[in-house]
Amino acid sequence: MTIHGIDASTNVAKPIKMTDQKLHIKGSEIETKLDTINTSLGSLSVSVGDVNVNTDGLEGLVGTSNTSLSAIEGSVDGIEGLIGTTNTTLTAISDSVDGLESLIGDLDTAQDLTNTKLTALVSASGINRTSSTFMSSVALAANSQHSSSFDASSYKSVRILGSSLNGGSLNIMGSVDNSTWYVLKGMYAQMDDSYYNYSEIINNAPKYITIKNQGSSDTVTIVAEGQSF
Domain of 26? 4-56
Residue 215 lies in a domain: yes
Residue 97 lies in a domain: no
Per residue in 179-206, is it b (16+ CB within 10 Å) or e — as a string?
A: eebeebeebebeeeeeebebebebeebb
CATH of the domain at 179: 2.60.120.40
Q: Considering 19, 41, 56, which residue would you say is the last residue of a domain? A: 56
183-195 tens-digit pLDDT: 999 999 898 878 8
Q: Please give the tally of structural domains in the chain.
A: 2
SS3 content of the chain, % helix, strand, coil (to 5): 45, 30, 25
Per-residue model confidence (pLDDT) at position 183: 94
- pTM across the whole model: 0.43
Residue 85 lies in a domain: no
Residue 197 lies in a domain: yes
Residue 123 lies in a domain: no
Q: Highest mean pLDDT range out of 47-56, 73-82, 162-171? A: 162-171
Residues 137 and 49 in one domain: no
Residue 83 lies in a domain: no
